Structure 1
């Protein structure tokens, strides 16, 4: 219980590696919730079982003779009989679902991604039709300098490709503001490209000639900055979460291949979830309005799903490890491990899928993305990864799955 909860906390606290204040509170609050649940499971739960254990014992005794794992044992036997076909089919399906994630466009939704029946979307469309698509997401250029620098800035920006026009420049006490209206809509990648050109090509030259300080802001620029910050720190985040979780599993099972296998399979299920999110919300599958994926949703999905996946991994592999230590039979260990934990894992996953799936009923696009990503990831992890891929991989590894440097073979 402590190790399973520890993997969830590691995944959530890994969000701190991103260095983003908006996610720091989420990481600490949810991790604290997991910690409280862990403490309750080893203190409050035993106390309650002591009080009500006799009543529960009657129901348990009535079902003691039933072999509730027979179906899971048969399924494990079937997978072990043909491990390579099961593994190839499952991995091919997951890779195909994860493939769209390579083209994920991070950003922030606006009124343009709402339903055409909403009044805000209708107002958005009317403004775009009357004043141009860029009117809904103007760039804000802030200048610290002289009036002559402001005049030169206005002239230079007006000639940039992709700029439909500028507003009237305003200056007060050496500070100026210029509204820049792009030719393209806020969610168009070309608008983000315009922000990059202004920052890297136009404004540096102007600053060197006039000595003024020029900065680009606005909703589009803010979204690009946030997405860029997430992208730059994502490798560190993944490295911290995957590395610490694998290290914890290595300590628990004293194995090198089990943590490596768990990390790779968890990444595959997360990739499938991100691919599903991209298909539905970015490409408009199932009737959704096409638009970007909210920049912070993928990292939240990664943290939560990686923690839950490791949680399921600990439940399943712990039972396999116990059976292997008892009998020394790797195939039997896989069968018995799935037979005794398969029902628990799928039941827990079903609860999480219902909870996360409820987010799809909300009108908020961000919550729907969050719910779909989590529900798909849990579904894939519980049914495909734990019930198909893990038995096949463990069958192929055999006793090598439990190999660890310096440990003698146990029988």
Structure 2
């Protein structure tokens, strides 16, 4: 990645290349010069000479003036400036210039922005978010959280106008304005990931050592008691650890419940009846026969079989979610282990790594999709840098999985 990412993943300018080519995750918004602002009477070039903001347009009445012609013009009251910059830069400029942000989307209407009491933040729409497919106005962010939407960024391009009717999708980035309480409530909804704020999120660092000690204790107890009879299992030890952090108030019960990923829980629950259905219908036997026929029969070298199974998992994860692939291949891996005498743990670990280390498409893993919007990446970018990484992981898994999970262990 360090050697080739700069060549394979070039920086892309946004808004048709008008912005600075090295600017990352910039947003476009509109400010209005009010009466009494220190900007009145100053030229555009003078105002922006000592900032990192980029002016895209000066709107004076019904006239739109491009930067090349606006540089020496003196700013007047009610002039509108279309600017690009990072949230911190926009907020700092507004504070110093006493200018007003033109308007934001407050559910169904546009309203004047408030910047003294409010903060700017970026929020990425997460996969499986309840916001998926809904319009910006239909989200009712102001009604529920007191959050106003300033702009939307999709695939590295900003959208300022007509955003009320835009339908948001996973990976979209919202530039929002809210107070501390609103940002916290929106973050706790787990519909978006707040990736950048003007002020850092407050965390309870005082409890951090206790959480670390609890985690180390659970892992150490599981390692020391592994294989012993009459001792708590790893699941029981994990439950004890959760109880400790709840009793010591490192986390509240409602926070713990919100942290549970219902999608993953449902997939895990569905794995049991799905495995039964695959076995009852004989699909596992057909899949095993197909895999063995593809790699050369039951007498094939177990290293080749493991490598082929990892490759199958990685390819499927390129088109399906990693959780779905893991659920689908689990019963097939168990049947394949029984048919060949290979240690089932080796195949299950191959599923874990193959389904979690797929970088060739945004669908391969949730984080792949999350970074697509802020990074301005395309499907082609994932292929250029992700496909070589997939092959690298394939080779590494083929070599190292048998080292830690021997292929001829207890099946």
Q: TM-score, normalised by structure 1?
A: 0.28
Greater helix fraction, Structure 1 or Structure 2: 1
Q: TM-score, normalised by structure 2?
A: 0.28
- Larger relative CO (CA 8 A, sep 6+): 1 or 2? 1
